[in-house]
A and B are shown apart, each in its own frame.
Chain A
Amino acid sequence: MSPGGRTSRPTSWQLVLDPAACDGHGICALLFAERIGLDEWGSAAVRGGPFSGRVMLRRARRAVAACPAAALRLAVVPSAAPARPTAGAAPAGAHEQPQ
């Protein structure tokens, strides 16, 4: 697939962070401040929603590549989220994966 949209539909992307892998180097937040912030203790936190556009994608790629802990991943936002159930009886607001 071509990066940033030679496809017919505009693709949007999001960053996926593995908080268990993040060591708080903070490089990602410098490279892609639009979507990555650091908390009080230096751990990365993804903020904001999906993004699109060549410039944003380039910054995101750079941030992903620069992470020494390989804690970041770039993911295509699926156009339709796969059906996750609520329940057999469909009660509203059933929780996501159990804790």
Chain B
Amino acid sequence: MTGRQLIDGPRATVARARPSAPRSGRRPLGRTGRPVETALLPGERGARLFAGPPAAAGAEPLAEHETRLGPLRPPPSPSAAEEEHCLELVKEAGLLGRGGGEFPLWWKLETARQASLSSGMAPIVVVNGAEGEPASRKDRTLLELRPHLVLDGAAFEAACVGASEVVVYLEPDRLASVAAVVRALEERRRAGAPDPVFRLEDAGGSYVSGETSAVVSALETGRPLPHRRPKPAAVSGVSGRPTVVSNAETAAQAALAARFGAGWFRRAGSESCPGSSLVTLAGAVAVPGLALEIVAPTPGAELLERFGGLDLASGLPKAVLVGGYAGRMVSGETFCTSHVDRGLLRQAGVPLGCGLLAVLPDTCCGLAVTCRLLTYLAAQSAGQCGPCVFGLPALVDDLRALVDGEGGRRTLRRLARRAVSIAGHGACGHPDGAVGLLESALALFEDDVRAHLRGRGCDGDASAGWLPATPPR
């Protein structure tokens, strides 16, 4: 039995229900000559992860899910050849992690499989649904609407590495997504799906709890603390077992690649990051927290007008924060003229990260918003490393002084010097992310900085209403 035969449904059904995806690159044209939509809401034609019923219908039941896509049934006792076939498929698909690190999934799977073969320890698969980014909604939206796709992906990953245990790592307070997953697991159990053993685990409710080493630590000790480990989790993770930690969206993408093949998978996205991507539109937009699926590079302006409800003719937003609170600030103009796509954005030095696109309105002070986000990031430190515990609050103090009009060029220079001394010196990437945000903001909001240096204070921070800066729970 080959990996392709893992799909044991009526092929015709699969082919008919196969979500169509435009080829990457330029804006594709449909059969009628009209451009095909490349940014899609749940239930819209052309979507991949979001294909199926619209958001209002809630979680897609198992029966509907399997009629639409055909069942994905990992064999009860996969052989080595099948595992290799599945791994080859993931490698060909070129699926990169969607949690922020954009790390290739095949490497994690391959490494975990090899490590398990050589050490004899049972591997474990973790679906990471922690989504600690306060403004991000894409993972929980996916879990709420398409829980079976995520669970399929986890089962497929487990089949790739020969794991019989899968952990779904969730925030227990997000009742809608937890309920969807629990109900989905119950449906699968009743349907008698030959799944691995699924287990729900508490993600611990902090900004850093989704970081891979923090996930491992949460599963070992109950506390999500990032660690600098001598070996990657795929080699030695939870209690020394090879551990594959992948984002919920990554798992769902793997489930689609497993069904429709690498060739189909690569037709969405771009060459350097194949496959569609989920993003969250947040900040000063019509519906903050709207999750969208991007199937091909889409102009930023189109996203803001069609889904953000912004009238760009009457003025551009001041900036867009790309990639999460530890992401990069991009000017409104640059964002509107560039294409939103994981691969293209990474090449431009603005990684899409967790998929957050947060709009800063023209009326706000970029420095004040940055100060607020940086304060949040400093407070969300796990409290382990000096550069994070002492460094980030020091950055916040300096930035606060600038915002209040009390800092001068000296403060600015010290800020830059401290930023350099902090980056790269923590056990995880948390301080680096905060420093990246600060540096991109100082470069972009030069005018705001200059105004503040002249001693003019700020007319208040307008971001409180539209960018949440509270812990995930």
Contact = CB atoms under 8 A, between A and B. Distances in A.
B394 A98 contact: no
Nearest to B107: A85
A88 B425 CA distance: 29
A97 interface: yes
A18 B102 contact: no
A92 to B, nearest CB: 8
A89 B385 contact: no
B60 interface: no
B192 to A, nearest CB: 33
Nearest to B351: A95
Contacts of A85: 104, 106-107
A16 B104 CA distance: 26
Contacts of A16: 230
A94 to B, nearest CB: 6
Interface in B206-262: 211-213, 225-228, 230, 232
Interface string A76-99: 000000001111110111111111
A19 B90 CA distance: 35
Contacts, number: 115
Nearest to A37: B421
B425 A39 contact: yes
Interface in B177-192: none
B28 interface: no
A89 B271 CA distance: 7
Contacts of B106: 85, 88
A99 B211 contact: yes
B300 to A, nearest CB: 21
Contact of A98 (B92, B102, B227, B230): B102
B271 to A, nearest CB: 7
A42 B387 CA distance: 9
Interface in A50-99: 84-89, 91-99
A1 interface: no
Nearest to A19: B385
Nearest to B433: A99
Nearest to A99: B429
Contacts of A42: 386
B102 A43 contact: no
A68 to B, nearest CB: 15
B472 interface: no
B231 to A, nearest CB: 11
Nearest to A91: B272
Given A20-B227, A89-B94, A94 B385 contact: no
A43 B271 contact: no
Interface string B421-438: 110011111100100000
Contacts of A24: 386
Interface in A1-60: 16, 18-20, 22, 24, 39-43, 45
Nearest to A83: B107
Contacts of A18: 228, 427
B473 interface: no
Interface string B366-385: 00000000000000000011
A11 B390 CA distance: 36
Contacts of A97: 101, 103, 212-213, 232
Contacts of B390: 40-41, 43
A16 B100 CA distance: 26
B427 A20 contact: yes
Nearest to A87: B104
A98 B101 contact: yes
Interface string B2-18: 00000000000000000
Nearest to B431: A19
Given A20-B228, A41-B386, A94 B326 contact: no
Contact of B386 (A43, A92, A99): A43
Given A45-B387, A88-B92, A98-B211, 17 more contacts: A19-B386, A22-B385, A39-B387, A39-B422, A39-B425, A41-B389, A42-B386, A87-B96, A88-B105, A88-B106, A91-B94, A92-B272, A94-B96, A96-B103, A97-B232, A99-B326, A99-B428
26 contacts: A19-B228, A22-B386, A39-B386, A39-B391, A41-B386, A41-B390, A41-B394, A87-B104, A87-B272, A88-B91, A88-B92, A88-B106, A89-B266, A89-B274, A91-B94, A91-B271, A91-B343, A94-B103, A94-B104, A95-B351, A98-B100, A98-B101, A98-B102, A98-B103, A99-B211, A99-B433
Interface of B: 90-97, 99-107, 211-213, 225-228, 230, 232, 266, 271-274, 326, 343, 346-347, 351, 384-387, 389-391, 394, 418, 421-422, 425-430, 433
The 6 closest A-B pairs by CB, nearest first: A98-B101, A43-B386, A89-B94, A91-B272, A88-B94, A41-B390
